[in-house]
Amino acid sequence: MNFTLYNSLTNQQESFTPIDKGVVKMYSCGPTVYDFAHIGNFRSFLFGDLMRRSLELGGYEVQHVMNITDVGHMVEGEDDKMLAAATRVKENKKSGRVPEGAIEDPNDPYQIADYYTNAFLEDSRKLGYKVAYEYPASVPKATDHIAGMIEMIELLIQRGHAYVSSDGVVYFSVESFPEYGKLSGNTMDKLQSGAGGRVSDVNQSMKKHPADFLLWKPDQKHIMKWDSPWGVGYPGWHIECSVMAKAVLGQDRIDIHTGGEDLIFPHHECEIAQSCGCSGESHFANYWVHARFLFVEGEKMSKSKGNFFTARDVFEGKVTGKPVHPAVLRFELIKSHYRSNMNFTTKGLTDSAATITKLIDFRAMLESKTGGKAADVDLSHPVLKEFSEALADDLNIAGALGVMHGWLKTDHSDAELSLAVWQKMNSVLSIAPINEGLAGVETASPGGGDDDEAETWRKAMVEARQNKDFATSDEMRDKLIEAGYDVQIGKTDVTIKKKLA
């Protein structure tokens, strides 16, 4: 399958060729685990997932790695950042997002990181983010790779790309790497002091160039610290991704690197300088692919505007007033093209819920006809050919969904074949976790069995209607509606269906 991707390195849509035939090595920058991931974060993560699944549909084996940044947030400043993290924990406890018993000591960065890592993995799995099922093998934590970071910094010093300043801090020297600025389009003289990373507590006057960025900061007093040749301290932010990409994917040069658009500079620019400075390769990743930001009802998401939502807020109904099935949120976050700013709206969620309900009902119809047996099908099937070719065209999801909607309206007398086509499409859309090698992992499947309590109310409603006890019937109906069910009253029966949003 011939893929094209928009490469931020060349600002062009390019034909995709992996280094090793048939195998794609892909790295995505992961979350900083000092709070719950928000829907903007998940937009960026799920675009990476859509890319991976589209490549897999196209026949590639994809080795996907995503890191957990459990150091960076503790090293921005000094105690004030810790204080900020602790305050966030307290806020989250107050709002009930973090239960009282969790994170016993909000001043312990390891407890904080541990709690939010688990929360992130839980949300990610609900949202069908495939790499999260491969934790820990494909989801490394920065704190587990400190030795590798020290090793890479030593190599960079040996190769003349890094230096120890007179106050003992280790910096990358941007002037030693003429390509610095190539990804972001920043030229050396445009670069401002402090632009080298999240760390602001370094003494700028000790740097050779204002854009030199931190690799290691000795600091005896710091709350997260490790021994190193430059004294006890902590690593800079960028070094972790250079180290973990190589350690887990096993190569100096990889195929694809993804992240949100805000990571282009400084983070990805610095990753390139470190990795290529160390390996001598001309490229760290051949294709750099970035997702544009998510907006909420047309505005930038921010806590002060009150339009800042975590994925859990959406699931739990804190955004729309009704619980939202994770499959609906997933669909909503992947259905617009990654290179356009996505606008998250309640209306969008409602539309996504309608589409998913339609797809799940359609699958149920096919399964009842076939007993769940699907035919063998591959991409030579004309509908799948069109569907996969749209995705191969720089992830043209609107095109792929158009093909799918058109197909739903066609003849489906060969139900086994249609079920097979449905399953292939779902391997990318992942609105229901089937046939994906994800067995053993608990994930809610929309359209699955209604819960026991609702069934009890439904039966009570049928019985009450037979006895002309309409007061009880109404009472049961109200309970069902309140629990999020659609209630259809027939002549002799009552049917209920859980609403997805």
294 binds, among ligand AMP, Zn ion, none (CB under 5 to 8 A by kind): ligand AMP
Q: Kindly tell me which of 32 and 430 has the beta carbon lying closer to ligand AMP.
A: 32
CA angle 389, 392, 394 (to 5 degrees): 130
301 binds, among ligand AMP, Zn ion, none (CB under 5 to 8 A by kind): ligand AMP
Please report how close the Cβ of residue 54 comes to Zn ion at its closest, in angstroms.
Answer: 22
- Nearest to 352, CA basis, from 327, 369, 375, 371: 327
Query: How far is CA 13 from each of CA 4, 59, 102, 213, 456, rounded to the nearest angstrom?
Result: 6, 21, 46, 31, 56
- Nearest to 239, CA basis, from 324, 127, 149: 149
Q: Kindly tell me which of 35 and 219 has the beta carbon lying closer to ligand AMP.
A: 35
43 binds, among Zn ion, ligand AMP, none (CB under 5 to 8 A by kind): ligand AMP
Q: Which residues bind Zn ion (CB under 5 A)?
A: 29, 241
Q: Kindly tell me which of 103 and 301 has the beta carbon lying closer to ligand AMP.
A: 301
Q: Kindly tell me which of 31 and 433 has the beta carbon lying closer to ligand AMP.
A: 31
Q: Kindly tell me which of 116 and 163 has the beta carbon lying closer to ligand AMP.
A: 116
Please report how close the Cβ of residue 377 comes to Zn ion at its closest, in angstroms.
Answer: 38
Q: What would the two tokens of residue 118 be?
A: 């688990």
239 binds, among ligand AMP, Zn ion, none (CB under 5 to 8 A by kind): none
Cα(351)–Cα(343) distance, integer angstroms: 13
Please report how close the Cβ of residue 88 comes to ligand AMP at its closest, in angstroms.
Answer: 13
274 binds, among Zn ion, ligand AMP, none (CB under 5 to 8 A by kind): none
Please report how close the Cβ of residue 292 comes to ligand AMP at its closest, in angstroms.
Answer: 7
Rg of the chain taking only CA atoms, in angstroms: 25
- Nearest to 226, CA basis, from 437, 74, 63, 20: 74
Cα(272)–Cα(174) distance, integer angstroms: 11
384 binds, among Zn ion, ligand AMP, none (CB under 5 to 8 A by kind): none
The dihedral through the CA atoms of 219, 107, 39, 426 has a sign that is: positive
Please report how close the Cβ of residue 32 comes to ligand AMP at its closest, in angstroms.
Answer: 4
CB contact set of 389 (below 8 Å; sequence gap of 6+): 1
Q: What would the two tokens of residue 301 be?
A: 């998401």
262 binds, among ligand AMP, Zn ion, none (CB under 5 to 8 A by kind): ligand AMP
260 binds, among ligand AMP, Zn ion, none (CB under 5 to 8 A by kind): ligand AMP
Q: Kindly tell me which of 338 and 387 has the beta carbon lying closer to Zn ion.
A: 338
C-beta of residue 36 within 8 angstroms of C-beta of residue 309: no
428 binds, among Zn ion, ligand AMP, none (CB under 5 to 8 A by kind): none
Please report how close the Cβ of residue 70 comes to ligand AMP at its closest, in angstroms.
Answer: 11
Q: What would the two tokens of residue 13 be?
A: 């849509």
Please report how close the Cβ of residue 206 comes to ligand AMP at its closest, in angstroms.
Answer: 27
The Cβ-side half-sphere exposure at 281, using a 13 Å CA radius, reads 16
241 binds, among ligand AMP, Zn ion, none (CB under 5 to 8 A by kind): Zn ion
C-beta of residue 32 within 8 angstroms of C-beta of residue 69: yes
Q: Kindly tell me which of 301 and 461 has the beta carbon lying closer to ligand AMP.
A: 301
CA angle 391, 397, 399 (to 5 degrees): 85
Please report how close the Cβ of residue 125 comes to ligand AMP at its closest, in angstroms.
Answer: 17
Query: How far is CA 417 from each of CA 137, 366, 378, 380, 481, rounded to the nearest angstrom?
Result: 36, 9, 11, 13, 36
Q: Kindly tell me which of 211 and 333 has the beta carbon lying closer to ligand AMP.
A: 333
Q: Which residues in 57-193 belong to E strands, given as ranges? A: 61-66, 162-164, 170-172
Q: Kindly tell me which of 46 and 359 has the beta carbon lying closer to ligand AMP.
A: 46
Please report how close the Cβ of residue 290 comes to Zn ion at its closest, in angstroms.
Answer: 12
Q: Which residues bind ligand AMP (CB under 6 A)?
A: 29, 31-32, 40-41, 43-44, 259-260, 262-263, 291, 293-294, 301
Q: Kindly tell me which of 245 and 415 has the beta carbon lying closer to ligand AMP.
A: 245
Please report how close the Cβ of residue 198 comes to ligand AMP at its closest, in angstroms.
Answer: 9
H/E element holding 247?
Answer: helix 239-249
Q: What would the two tokens of residue 388 be?
A: 């996969």
- For the chain, helix (H) and strand (E) counts, in that order, are 14, 15
Residue of closest CB approach to ligand AMP? 260
